[in-house]
Amino acid sequence: MISSEFAKEYQRLIADNTSGSRELLIKLIKFLQKHQNEIDADIIIHLQNHFSDFQTINSFLKKFSIAFKNKRLEHFFKENPIDDKVVYKKIFTNFLPYIKNFQTIITISNSKTISEVLKLISQSNKSLKVIISEGRPNNEGTIFAERLAESNISTTLITEAQIYQFAQKTDCAIIGADKILANGNVINKVGSYLLALACKELNKPFFVLADKSKSCLDNCFIPKEYNRDEIFKTEKKIEIHNFYFEEITKELITEIITD
């Protein structure tokens, strides 16, 4: 029987719709490590279904499931550290040659990888300016903006509707990725395609920053809808759609930077 603490933390974890995939993975690892004696096969399956949009979490849960079946969780957690700063450092190092003279960068939503890379960039580029699109409907971009501001990075927050206007004022755009398909297309938060199109029109570089765990063998992406009440709650007969993720075609991507 699971504890009340387990139940509360589990609900908090699966209700998190503002964290990026890497940040969600860190929270998931902490949760599973803390409650490993209360985990069963049904919970693992439920987690896999719930986080099906996040490739890095899918890959982790597949390995976790095997370790669980073989009763090797203690060894598994030693091989899968909660957070690996080396990954962010490698992505930053590989990205640096592309942005040596860049001062203003635009991004969207909330991403642990993007956050860590921007912090590394700001250490040597004190004049760095970052423009963040809020990430409707849950406005996780506001969380991202506050984190960057706390790191003394000049930060501007905008709505998705202002992406084209502000993309004109930037040197490049960067986004994270929830999946990198085998065909080179990328899955990320809705609004990313709009940003990519703006960059294409304005002849601005559009970069994807993601660790290798985001890559998958699939070539097909089927978007699923989330709670429509997040967009607008009404009893009137209004058709409402709420998609979190979309596919950005490789033709719109300047480069995918990984570790």
Q: Are 107 and 132 in contact, with CB atoms under 8 Å apart?
A: yes
Distance CA 179, CA 142 (A): 23
- The Cα-based distances of 192 to 206, 208, 219 in angstroms read 10, 10, 19
**Which residues are paired to 150 by β-bridges?**
none
The set of residues, in sequence order, having a beta carbon less than 8 Å from that of 37 and lying 6+ positions away, is: none
In 3D, which of 107, 170, 168, 171 has the Cα closest to residue 133?
107
Among candidate residues 53, 178, 211, 259, the one labeled active-site is: 178
- The Cα-based distances of 189 to 71, 109, 128 in angstroms read 36, 7, 24
Reported as type and span, the H/E element at residue 49 is helix 41-50
User: Per the structure block, which two tokens stand in for 170?
Assistant: 């930037």
Residue 171 appears among annotated catalytic residues:
no
User: Per the structure block, which two tokens stand in for 66?
Assistant: 């095997």
Distance CA 211, CA 259 (A): 5
Query: Which residues are designated catalytic?
Result: 178
